[in-house]
Amino acid sequence: MGDDNTKYITKDDLQEVLDNVVAKMISKMGEIGKKVDNEVTALKLEQGRFSSSLNNIQTQILDKQGRFFSDTFNSSGDRLAYKFCFPKYDGPEDSLGWLHKAE
């Protein structure tokens, strides 16, 4: 039963092993964090380029259709911008009727 080849580990040895493992994990997490940061930065740049390209294409399409300015009419006569006229309450009349108009 007694095995003479049994090795015992001391508390200090165990602490050293654990410290090394934790240090390696922290190092790997730092590397992964840097890679994630680089990918996020690349995605943000790509998104910016895509948004800029899309805006350029939309501007070109609107310009070709003669609808670059919002107050011009297209070929069917429809306005691109709409103006809403809301009723104004001036005080002397009953406010209940004014509220129904505003709804």
| β-strand partners of 73 | 79
Going from N- to C-terminal start, the domains of the chain cover 11-102
Quote the pTM value.
Answer: 0.45
Q: What span, in angstroms and rounded, lies between the C-alpha atoms of 35 and 93?
A: 67
Euclidean distance between CA atoms 18 and 7, whole angstroms: 18
Average pLDDT over residues 29-54: 93
- The answer to whether the CB of 78 falls within 8 A of the CB of 69 is no
Amino acid at 37: D
Query: Could you tell me if 101 and 84 are in contact, meaning their C-beta atoms sit under 8 angstroms apart?
Result: no
21: helix, strand or coil: helix
What is the reported pLDDT for 87? 65
Of 38-42, 52-56, 98-102, give the range with the top mean pLDDT: 38-42
The values of phi and psi at residue 71, to 5°, are -100, 10
